[in-house]
Structure 1
């Protein structure tokens, strides 16, 4: 595979983000709370507003979009932290380092914003995602919430995993 590039998108890139986001919703409907039908119907202003609320990252290989992720605020209760969300890699690019490149870029964005931690919510039953996040240096916290994605199995949970971004990283190599 060619080199992976990751770049932040600006408000003017809303159509490109929309295209990849709708692809994500169509290809992995069980991974997101939103639906393809709902978001496809949203007007331009919805997408422009979304671009301003969080940093949207686009991964490309040979100029073709292969993944997205977003970095945003956790909320007023944790001003020192950011969260990574909406991570998606096209099926044909999975296992090629795209997710790692997106997470690394997301951690860099959060660090540049002066954040000390990066949170990432992962389904407790999603062993692959937990292993990926752990291998990257994320550690589970005591924070749990019900899965926000509708599933057949009631009671599924997500765990907040956190990655320290500066200072003592507990033996985790710097990004």
Structure 2
């Protein structure tokens, strides 16, 4: 199933700003991916599995390769949030390459200036719908236990804690908790 040709999803819901759009990343948008990723790490370094320093060391070519892969892969996707044509957020969606093949959303970030427009909700919903279209019955998210705002956000979207915990990859002294959303009639495949 393709979501509005899987390129452009426009939210006209009364609950969210009609100026928000979400698009799957295009192959040539490596620089946009790098810009959003580094902005997210500058603004919320505690929330992600890598550091700003690590991201700044990555060659631009690697972001180009990631954008190209995430633009067309059936297992990996990045969705970008726009307001009035300007990129202002992102989320990754992927299916693990393990026998369990669990589906995940990760690296969700929305620029502080537009968070009140509920773009994070739109990004997670679009990514979850894409994962459901790939056959996922559940969508998972690892969330820093220090980030109570993120935990409440995911809970409002229907995610709940699984009880699984692990050390954060970039901050081993901090833990993250696994949350899960059971896909149902709210997210038709």
Structure 1 Cα separation of the partners of residues 78 and 187 of structure 2:
23
1:132 aligns with 2:150: no
Take 2:27 and 2:129, find their aligned partners in 1: how far apart are those partners?
20
Partner of 1:62: 84
RMSD of equivalent CA atoms: 2.1
Q: Deviations over 1:9-48 (max 9, x none)?
A: 1322212211211221222222223233332332243113
**Corresponding residue for residue 28 of structure 1:** 44
Contact 2:162 2:178 in 1 (8 A): yes
| Whole-angstrom CA distance in 2 between matches of 1:21 and 1:150 | 17
Distance (whole Å) between structure 2 residues aligned to residue 42 and residue 145 of structure 1: 25
The more displaced of 68-77 and 102-111 is 68-77
Gaps of 5+ in 2: 1-16, 71-75
Q: 1:82-117: per-residue Cα shift (whole Å, max 9, x none)?
A: 100010111111232011001001101101111111
3-state DSSP of counterpart to 1:83: strand
**Please, which runs of 5 or more residues in structure 1 have no aligned partner?**
none
Task: Please give the TM-score of this superposition, normalised by the length of structure 2.
Answer: 0.78
Does residue 160 of the first structure (1) align with residue 160 of the second (2)?
A: no
- Runs of 4+ in structure 1 off by over 3 angstroms are none
Match of 1:102 in 2: 123
Give the number of equivalent residue pairs: 166
- State the Cα distance separating 1:77 from its structure 2 match: 3.4
1:148 Cα deviation after fit = 2.8
Indicate if the aligned counterparts of 2:34 and 2:60 stay in contact, CA closer than 8 A. no
Q: Which residue of 2 aligns with 1:49?
A: 65
Residue 12 (structure 1) aligned with residue 12 (structure 2): no
Give secondary structure in 2 for the equivalent of 1:94: helix
- Quote the residue 1:86 is aligned against: 107
User: Which TM-score applies when normalising by structure 1?
Assistant: 0.83
